Amino acid sequence: MNKKLPNTAYFCMEYGIDSKIKTYAGGLGILAGDYMKGAHDYHYPLIGLGLKWKQGYTDQRIDEEGNPYDSYHNNDYHCLEDTGVKVNVKIRERDVVIKVWKVVNYGVCPLYFLDTDLPENEDAWITGQLYGWFGEERIAQEMVLGIGGVRALRALGHEVEVYHFNEGHAVFAGLELIKEKMDKGLSFINAKCKTIDEVVFTTHTPIVQGNESHPLHRLMYMGANNGLTFEQMVDIGGAPFNMTVAALRLSRISNAVAQLHAETANKMWMHIDNRSEIIGITNAIHMPTWVDENMIKAAEEKSQVWENHMKNKHDLIAFVKERTGVALDADKLLIGFSRRAAPYKRSNLIFTDTEIIEPLLREGKIQIVFSGKAHPLDDTGKDIIKNIVNMTKKYPNSVVFLENYDMTIGKMLTRGSDIWLNNPRRPLEASGTSGMKAAMNGVINFSILDGWWPEACNHGVNGWQFGDGKALEDFQTEEELDNHDLKALYHVLLNEVIPTYYNNKAKWVEMMINSINSTKDYFSVKRMLEEYFEKMYIKNN
C-alpha cells in the first residue's frame, strides 16, 4: 500500500480487551478488541470509541437447580487515563455530561471510553450495563456513543477522514456529522451526501429481528434526531427507524463479516433503496491474544505437534477440574463448544438422538465441554443453558458446563479441546471467530458450512464439515433442516472423527498441522486490517 492511509475513527458498543473487564458481551466485542490490538501492532491510523461501562455485561452463574442467574459487578478499570476532556449531549431535554477516558497501552491507536457516571449527571446510569435494556435506555447509550463520540473526537482535536460504524449501534454519529455541516449552512441533502462520503459500515447480524429498530417518535423525544425533522429521519432510517437501514443509507460502502454473509446480507436488504453496496470482509483474530505460538512453531517444523497439544489439553482438564470438580480423561476425545445461547446455534443438537449419543457418553468415547451465556432477558436462551446443565447431571463424567463464559474460558477451550463443534442453522452464523482460534491452535473444526468455515474447510484434510451446505431455504421447516444436519453430524462423528482419533493418530496430527498452516495467515487480523483499509477506508475513485 503506497497511498497515505486515512485517519479512521472506529465506533463500537463493546470491546473485548481483557477477560476481567466486562466491556464485551460476545463476538462483536471480541472482534473490536482484536481489531484495535492489530491496528496497534501494525501501526494503522485507527482511533477507537466505546463506552466506559460501569458494570458492562452480566456475570452469569448456575444455581442449584441448574438455572442461570445474573449478577453484575463494577468493573475495576486499572488501565484508564483521564484526558481532561468532557463533552455534552442533550438527552431527553437534559444535558448529559460525558467524560472521555483513554485506555492506556494502545500506543499508536488511542482507544477512548465515554463515561456518564459523574456526580453532575442525573443520568449517570446511561453507561451502566451493556445491552441491559432495549428501549429508551438503549437509545440513550447509542446517543452517547454516536453523538458523544463525534463531539469527543472534535474536543480531543483528532483529524478524522473516515468514520467506521461497527454495527448499527453507532449510527447516531452520522446524524451528528450531518448536523455539523448544516450548522455551517449546508442543506440537509448536501450535508447528507458529504456525510455518506465519510462513513463506512459493518453489519453483523443475518437475522432480521436482530437488527435494532426504534419507534421514530421515541427517537424524537429522546433527541436522537439531533435537530433533524421527522421527514428527514424517515428518509434515513424509515419509520420505525431501523438502525441497520440507516447505517446502510449513511455509508458510502458497507461490509458483511464473511463471504457467505455478504450474499445473505445483500439478499436481506435487497428491497432497501439508496443504500451502500455490501461487500464481504471476513473476520479474523489477533493471534497473540488467542493462539499458542508453540503450536504454530510445531506445525511449521512438523514436530512436537501432539505433545504440545497434549500440554494444552492437560491445562484445560486442570482448569475444568478446578472450576467444576470433574476429572476428564486426557486419552479420550474432547469436544469443545462455547456459544451464546441463541436457538439458531442449536447447542443441544448433538444430544437429540439418545440411542446414538448415550453409549458414546456412557463409555466415555466422547467428552463435551460447554460454555456460554444467555442474554439476561432471554428466557428461551436460559432454557437452552438449563438443558445443557441437565445433561451434565445425566452424564457427570463426560459432559461439563463452564459457567460465566468469558475470554479466559474462550482461550482455554480453543486451545485444549481436540475438536471444535459448531452447528448453527445455515446461514445464520455471520462469521464466528472461535473456530479460527481453534483452527490455529490445532483444534480441529467440526462444523456446519456456515460463517467463515466454507472459506477454510477442506474436508478430511484440515477439518470436517457436515450438512453439505444445506440451508434453511432448502427445507420446508426448521425441523427438517435440523434432522438433516443431525444425521450428517452423527455420520461424520461416527465414521470419520472418532475412528481417526482412536485408530489413526498420524492422520489426526497431519490434520492438525494442515488446520494451523491453512488458517494462520488468512484469518489473522493483519489480513483483515489490510482489507478494511484497501477496500473500505481508502477511496478508490
Ligand X SMILES: *Cc1c(COP(=O)(O)O)cnc(C)c1O
DSSP state of 363: T
Asked if 206 is part of the footprint of ligand X (rule: CB under 6 A), the reply reads no
Q: For 379-405, b where at least 16 C-beta lie within 10 A, e where not — what string?
A: eebbebbbebbebbeebeebbbbbbbb
The residue number whose beta carbon is nearest to ligand X equals 410
Q: Looking at 403, 406, 450, 485, which residue binds ligand X (CB under 6 A)?
A: 406
* Residue 29: all three cell numbers together: 466485542
CB of 434 to ligand X, least distance (A): 3
CB 373 to ligand X: min, Å: 9
C-alpha cell at 388: 445443557
The nearer residue to ligand X, 339 or 426, going by C-beta atoms, is 339
* Cβ 31 to ligand X shortest distance, Å: 8
Q: Residue 228 corresponds to which amino acid?
A: L
Q: What's the maximum distance between 2 C-alpha atoms anywhere in the chain?
A: 75
Number of Cβ within 10 Å of residue 293's Cβ equals: 10
Taking contact as CB under 6 A, which single stretch among the options 26-34, 49-57, 107-115, 219-227 is the one that binds ligand X? 26-34
Cβ nearer to ligand X, comparing 58 with 116: 58
Closest of 45, 10, 62, 308 to residue 169, by C-alpha = 10
Judged by CB under 6 A, the residue of 12, 13, 30, 139 near ligand X is: 30
Question: Nearer Cβ to ligand X, position 225 or 422?
Answer: 422
**Contact pick of 11, 13, 26, 347 for ligand X (by CB under 6 A):** 26
CB-nearer residue toward ligand X: 228 or 402:
402
Take residue 289 and report the three cell numbers written for it. 491474544
Tell me how far, at minimum, the Cβ of 281 lies from ligand X, in Å. 16
**Contact between 34 and 284 (Cβ < 8 Å):** yes
Distant-in-sequence contacts of 211-214, Cβ < 8 A, 24+ apart = 211/168, 211/242, 211/243, 211/244, 211/245, 212/138, 212/168, 212/169, 212/242, 212/243, 212/244, 213/237, 213/238, 213/240, 213/241, 213/242, 213/243, 213/245, 214/135, 214/139, 214/240, 214/241, 214/243
Site string for ligand X, 414-433 (x = CB under 6 A): ------------------xx
**Span of 96-104, 200-208, 400-408, 466-474 interacting with ligand X by CB under 6 A:** 400-408
Distance in Å, CB of 337 to ligand X, minimum: 10
Kindly state whether residue 339 participates in binding ligand X, applying the rule CB under 6 A.
yes
Strand 94-103 and strand 111-115: the pairing is antiparallel
Smaller CB separation from ligand X, 25 or 492: 25
439 belongs to the binding site for ligand X (CB under 6 A): no
Near ligand X by CB under 6 A: residue from 407, 457, 489, 516: 407
Q: Which amino acid is at 490?
A: Y
CA 149 to chain centre: 21
- How many binding residues for ligand X (CB under 6 A)? 13
Q: Which of 344, 405, 453, 464 binds ligand X (CB under 6 A)?
A: 405
The residue ranges that bind ligand X (CB under 6 A) are 26-27, 30, 339, 405-407, 410, 432-435, 437
